[in-house]
Every structure is written in structure tokens, then in C-alpha cells.
Structure 1
Amino acid sequence: MNALTAALKEELNVEMVSVFGLQIPESVVISWGIMVFLVLGSILLTRNLRVDHITRRQAILETVVTLINDFFVGLLGENGKRYVPYLMSVALYIACSNLIGVFGIKPPTKDLDVTAALALMSIVLIEYSGIHARGGKGFFKSLAAPTPVMTPMNILEIAIRPTSLCMRLFGNVLGAFVIMELIKLVVPVFVPAVFSLYFDLFDGLIQTYVFVFLTSLFMKESLGDEE
């Protein structure tokens, strides 16, 4: 257990990286790298797009984007289409952050500050979407639904949501690390390698899905019936 405790402490420790004389958290630097990768990838994938006689690359790209867009629109409705680009961007970032562990790089999502920032951004957008759809008066009126007695509970729910999103993502990613360390203590090398591939690939994508799915559900609830 001492080995597990030491490994867990090391995993939770956020290393600082010197960038032009500034001490920047390692998770932030890796996040910058992921953003550069996504931007460059987007530029390369969207070059020379055509209307007629499209290439196989463009056909695959359009199919994937359409499927993801339809998934979110199906959750949010037509009134929530404006928020789909944000959800797709967050999904891509979290997916890359979780999958980057395959290459031996510490995922930024193992930093509680990163998951907290993602949750906070999502909750701000969720509440903004409610205000935009219902108006200020309608939003404050919804805080007293179904009866004014529920107002404190509704406000508390808004405060709890970012904590829920943050800890769910952080806890699941960290939980996978703890399970891997326990497996390494009791089985040969080959088995941990197989499980590591599972947690880095499959489980990482599941956590991405869960985060954006819950964000979409909260946003749908905030939008109400304004279709």
C-alpha cells in the first residue's frame, strides 16, 4: 500500500514547467499542445473542400461532423443548436486529454484545476443559455419553480452542478489510475498493459461522452420548453 500511496501522491502532484522564465503548470502546457494539435488538424482536414466530386477524406469528415451535430441537436433541440460548437470543442479536448496517456504523457484531466475549469465554463454556459432562452425574468421565475419554497434548493442545485461535473471527470480518471496501480501489484506485466490500453482508450472516451452528455442534459433543462 505504501507503493500505491507514493504513486498516487506523485500522480496528484502538478509539476511546474519553465516557459520563457515563467513557471506554468504542466497540465496547462500539455493543454496548449493539445489545442495546437486540434487547430492544425482542423486546418489540414478542412483544406480544399469541394461542393461537387468530394474526396473520401471530406466525405468521412462530413459524416462524422454530421453524426456528432445530430446527436447534440437531438439532445438540445433546435433552440440549442448555437451551443453545439462549444460542446464539440470540449468533447475533442477531453478526448485528446484522456487519450494522450497512451503516449506516456500525463493527461491534463488528472489535474483538478483543469476539470474544475471545464465544469465552471460549462455551468456558466448552461445558465447563460437559460437566461438567453427565457429572458432574465423567466430565468429568475424558474428558480421559484414549482413553488417558491423550492427556491433555496434550486439555487443550491446550480451551485452543486459544477462540483458534480468536475469531481465526476476527475474522480473517474484518477480512479482508473488507482485500479491500474492495484493490478500491477498482483498480476504479471502483460495483464496491466491490456488494462492500461482499456483505461487510456475506451474508458477515456466514455468519460468524454459522460461529461458532454450531462452538460447537454443540464443545458436542455435550462432551456426549458422554449423551442
Structure 2
Amino acid sequence: MNDVSQIIITIGSVQIPIHQSIMVWLVICLFLCIMAVICGKKIEKADPSKPPKGLVYLSEEIYNLCLYVVQGNLREKTKKYIPIFGTLMLGMLLSNLSGLTGFQNPTSNVSFNATLAIMFFLMIQFNGLKKGGLKARFKELCEPFPFLLPLNIIGELALPISLTMRLFGNILAGTIITLLVYTLITNIAPWGYLGLTLTPFIHAYFDIFSGVIQTYIFFTLGTYFLGQQVSEEAE
């Protein structure tokens, strides 16, 4: 299956190719849905008078971790947005770590990252208009001086581009560097066996450390700008 770069679904005369990275994302979504149902039932049956353990404890720790990332930016609106952002954070984290399995990371697909970044952009703009209307939003873009309106608009449009390319560049670069190292090790055999001792450290950085950091940065930046529009404490 690792050699399958895409599958093609044929509907009549129309062919729809589905890239490997998207297939991996669909598997991750299915896994999260199944785990959500299982953990939900475990939490319902758990005795609140006893310390949590097993999946209940793991669920609480994951929830607290998601709160740590977004609560400082969303403040009193955290409870409203934690379901969607918590789910997306877990999905992105698993996507970044999926490179350990040998499959292509969904986050190395620029269209995948752009979809998440545009979602943030639309949420920010929608809440900005909802907060005070079109007039107030236009006035906000003219601050501190009206002649800065074009620069402020460019700044707003730069957010989804920045989120997309930062995540795409870091994840794809890690994948390429890891591939180059494996190719080098193969070509310098028999010294390649010695080189294999370095690969765990390479994966620890590019697949684990970098994957976790990029997830944190993506949602920290996104929720920061969203918090400027939805949080009353930010005003």
C-alpha cells in the first residue's frame, strides 16, 4: 500500500483521483471518530469520585493540552471553540506524525494546509463583521491611519498564506531531508549499517518534535487573530 500514490474513483466518464495524503487524512478522521465514541462511553460510565485512569485519564490530558494551546487567545470563548479546534489539533498532530508509518503526511499537501488556513481566515473575517458590522470592520482596517488601509488588507490576506506555507514548508522539508538521508545511507553501504543508528534521531526531530511544534504554532497563531475578533477581553 505504501507504493500507492493515489486511487482513482470512476463515476461514469468522470475520474476523481484521491491522493495518498488525502487517504491518510480520511483514515485519521475515521480513527478519531471511533476513539471519540469509545472515550465518550468510557467517560459516561466513569465514577467521578475516583481518580481517572486509562482512556478517561488520557482524554482529560488531551483536553487540558488543547486548552493550553487556545485558552490564552480565546479566553471566555474557549468553551465555544474547543470542540472544533481540539479535534483539528489532534487530526493535524496525527497527520504530522503519520510520516513515521512511511506514508505521506497530509500536511505535506499544500491544498490540505490551505483548506485549514482559509477556514481560520473566514472565521476571523466573519466574526469581525459580526462584531460591529461592515462599517466598524472597515474602520478597524483603517487604524491607526486611513492611508494604511491597503497595508492592513494585505496583512489580513497574508495570514492564510503564512499559515499554509509555514506548515507546508516545514513538514515537506522534513520529509525530503529524511528521504535524502536514507538514500545516502543506502549508497554508502556497507557503512550504511552504521548510518542507520542516526535515523531514530532524524525521525525524532523531523517527524515528532517538528510535527508537535508546527501544530502548536499553527493553532496558536490562528486562534490569536480569531481571539481579537471574538473575545471581549481582548478589546
- Contact 1:102–1:197 (CA<8 Å) still a contact in 2? no
Of 85, 88, 91 in structure 2, the residue corresponding to residue 87 of structure 1 is 85
Structure 1 181/29 Cα, relative in aligned 2: closer, same or farther at 3 Å?
Answer: closer
Tell me how far 1:20 sits from its aligned partner: 6.0
Give the paired residue count.
Answer: 214
**Are 1:105 and 2:103 counterparts?**
yes
**Are 1:168 and 2:166 counterparts?**
yes
| AA matched with 1:128 | F
| AA matched with 1:30 | V
Using the alignment, how far apart are the partners of 2:10 and 2:114 within structure 1? Answer: 26
Of 5, 26, 34 in structure 2, the residue corresponding to residue 15 of structure 1 is 5
Task: Give the TM-score taking structure 1 as reference length.
Answer: 0.82
Bigger Rg, structure 1 or 2: 2
Aligned alpha-carbon RMSD (Å)? 2.5
Write the mapping of 1:1-227 to structure 2, written as runs, cut at 5 A.
Answer: 15-19=5-9, 22-48=16-42, 49=44, 50=46, 52-54=48-50, 55-57=52-54, 58-79=56-77, 81-184=79-182, 185=184, 188-223=195-230
Secondary structure, aligned partner of 1:146: coil
Tell me how far 1:90 sits from its aligned partner: 1.8
Percent of paired sites with the same residue: 30
Using the alignment, how far apart are the partners of 1:80 and 1:141 within structure 2? Answer: 27
- Contact 2:66–2:89 (CA<8 Å) still a contact in 1? no
Q: Structure 1 stretch 63-72 or stretch 33-42: which is displaced more?
A: 63-72
- Contact 1:134–1:223 (CA<8 Å) still a contact in 2? no
Structure 1 90/52 Cα, relative in aligned 2: closer, same or farther at 3 Å?
Answer: closer
- Contact 2:113–2:164 (CA<8 Å) still a contact in 1? yes
Tell me how far 1:210 sits from its aligned partner: 0.9
